[in-house]
Amino acid sequence: MTDHALLLVNLGSPASTSVADVRRYLNQFLMDPYVIDLPWPLRRLIVSLILLKRPAQSAHAYASIWWPEGSPLVVLSQRLQRAITPLWQHGPVELAMRYGPLSIEKALLRLAGQGIKQVTLAPLYPQFADSTTTTVIEEAKRVVREHKLALKFATLTPFYDQPEYLDALVASAQPHLQQGFDHLLLSFHGLPERHLHKLDPSGHCLKGADCCKNASPQVLANCYRAQCLRSAELFAERVGLKPGQWSVSFQSRLGRAKWIEPYTEARLDELAKAGVKKLLVMCPAFVADCIETLEEIGDRGREQFQEAGGEELVLVPCLNEHPQWVSALKTLCERAPLAL
Ligand SMILES: C=CC1=C(C)c2cc3[nH]c(cc4nc(cc5[nH]c(cc1n2)c(C)c5CCC(=O)O)C(CCC(=O)O)=C4C)c(C)c3C=C
Ligand SMILES: [Fe+2]
Ligand SMILES: [Fe+2]
């Protein structure tokens, strides 16, 4: 059978590092109601305020990590697509981005035009959040509805606790773990606390220091923070780390709302002040290196850690195109349930 395509979807980047392209990208991204989940007039106002200064700052940050071939996130995702293509024997493998060029719409129309009957949609996010997984699924639904596409779908579910993902993470981190370190910080992308409360009708989330550790299966299914902690614990268990050798934090806070804690910025200071000299940082919410890992942690985070008294910050690369990740992703996608 060769009429069953795989569609990999990641977040996306601006078309270039120009301030105008970064503004266009940020506007599309932040106006997504799953990202800034406020009523349209308030969202429009807040995004317009963010767009006064942020495009120039972000353009500068993007320029510092941009590769000759383009955005690291996009280039690494294209390499992943190339590596998985020979393993996916059911049909073509396409790549789309939720924001910026390479839209989900163009990819699905291309596949439908080639006579594809079934698509496995793979949002490339290990942990579930409305601002990542849900928005990809909703965008695919919109395209199918508006273009009346006759496609059957399977959808990759969040794989934060799947052995294939965790084993690939261990294999990719092992060379760095073997070099020795004082502490391992697992820094996940943050989320406004509001996003967790919205998906938690039981009122369990953020009610105490251990709420995510004691989450019931129903809460865990929707709680991004609990899924991050679970990924981190399972990873630490696999590599035999003892409590105190590792911790979790959340990065990339934007705006004034309260985001989930502890914040990575605060942890970098605390760890340096506690005498950690060599710090390893992994970012397991991202499967490909991007501005959030390369610039926020690899440049600004390193500088901050050293200014606070630390000596060395080693940024462990994301899974990128690691062969074990490529084959893990193929297995996870083949197991994806029929659903959109
Ligand atoms: C309200 C704002 C944001 C939410 C919520 C959010 C959630 C979220 N994002 C990722 C993954 C990525 N985010 C990236 C960049 C990025 N994220 C935000 C804001 C929110 N993210 C902004 C404004 C930006 C752009 C960069 C900047 O100006 O700081 C990226 C990298 C993109 C790249 O081109 O390299 C990724 C990947 C997750 C996983 C997540 C929720 C859990
Ligand atoms: Fe983000
Ligand atoms: Fe929780």
Q: Same structural domain for residues 152 and 185? A: no
pLDDT of residue 91: 97
Q: Same structural domain for residues 21 and 152? A: yes
Query: For 255-296, what is each residue's pLDDT tens digit?
Result: 888 999 999 999 999 999 999 999 999 999 999 999 999 999
Q: Same structural domain for residues 90 and 217? A: no
Ligand nearest to C-alpha 222: 3
List own/partner pairs for 290-295 with CB under 8 A and 24 or more apart: 290/11, 290/13, 290/71, 290/72, 290/73, 290/318, 291/13, 291/58, 291/61, 291/62, 291/65, 291/72, 291/73, 292/189, 292/251, 292/252, 293/318, 294/65, 294/72, 295/61, 295/62, 295/64, 295/65
pLDDT of residue 238: 98
pLDDT(1) > 70: no
Q: Are 263 and 250 in contact (CB under 8 A)?
A: yes
- CATH number of the CATH domain containing 179: 3.40.50.1400
Q: Same structural domain for residues 151 and 8? A: yes
Ligand nearest to C-alpha 11: 1
Ligand 2 geometric centre to CA of 292 (Å): 8
Q: Same structural domain for residues 154 and 209? A: no
ipTM rounded to 2 decimals: 0.96
- Dihedral over alpha carbons 163, 244, 209, 300 (to 10 degrees): -80
Handedness of CA 113, 114, 120, 125 (dihedral sign): negative
Under the banding of pLDDT at 50, 70 and 90, the label for residue 201 is: confident
Ligand 1 mutation target, pool 188, 189, 299, most atoms within 8 A of CB: 189
pLDDT of residue 299: 98
In a domain, 22, yes or no: yes
Q: Same structural domain for residues 175 and 154? A: no
pLDDT of residue 274: 97
Q: Same structural domain for residues 56 and 190? A: no
User: Taking Cα atoms as reference points, which of 246, 249, 117, 99 lies closest to residue 182?
Assistant: 246
Q: Same structural domain for residues 290 and 238? A: yes
Ligand 1 mutation target, pool 8, 11, 80, 293, most atoms within 8 A of CB: 11
In a domain, 68, yes or no: yes
H helices of the chain, in order, are 19-30, 40-65, 72-84, 104-113, 135-147, 163-177, 193-198, 217-222, 224-239, 264-273, 291, 302-307, 323-334
User: Taking Cα atoms as reference points, which of 330, 132, 298 lies closest to residue 228?
Assistant: 132
pLDDT of residue 107: 98
Q: Same structural domain for residues 223 and 306? A: yes
Under the banding of pLDDT at 50, 70 and 90, the label for residue 77 is: very high
Question: Does the annotation place 189 within a ligand binding site?
Answer: yes
Q: Same structural domain for residues 41 and 150? A: yes
Ligand 1 mutation target, pool 23, 75, 131, most atoms within 8 A of CB: 131
Q: Between the CA of residue 52 and those of 18, 47, 225, 258, what are the distances in Å?
A: 15, 9, 31, 22
In a domain, 339, yes or no: no
In a domain, 126, yes or no: yes
**Rg, C-alpha atoms of the chain:** 20
Q: Whose Cα sits closest to atom 36 in ligand 1?
A: 11
This prediction has a pTM of: 0.96
In a domain, 130, yes or no: yes
Indicate the average pLDDT of the chain.
Answer: 96
Q: Same structural domain for residues 297 and 190? A: yes
pLDDT(218) > 90: no
Query: For 127-157, what is each residue's pLDDT tens digit?
Result: 999 999 999 999 999 999 999 999 999 999 9
In a domain, 340, yes or no: no
pLDDT of residue 188: 98
Ligand 1 pocket at CB < 6 A:
11, 13, 26, 35-36, 54, 58, 71, 73, 125, 129, 131-132, 189, 191, 224, 252, 254, 285-286, 290-292
Look up the domain containing 21 and give its range: 4-159+323-334
pLDDT(209) > 80: no
pLDDT of residue 213: 82
pLDDT of residue 167: 98
In a domain, 44, yes or no: yes
In a domain, 145, yes or no: yes
Give percent of the chain with pLDDT exceeding 90.
91
**What is d(CA 317, CA 287) in angstroms, rounded to the nearest whole number?**
9
Q: Same structural domain for residues 116 and 176? A: no
The count of structural domains within the chain is 2
Under the banding of pLDDT at 50, 70 and 90, the label for residue 118 is: very high
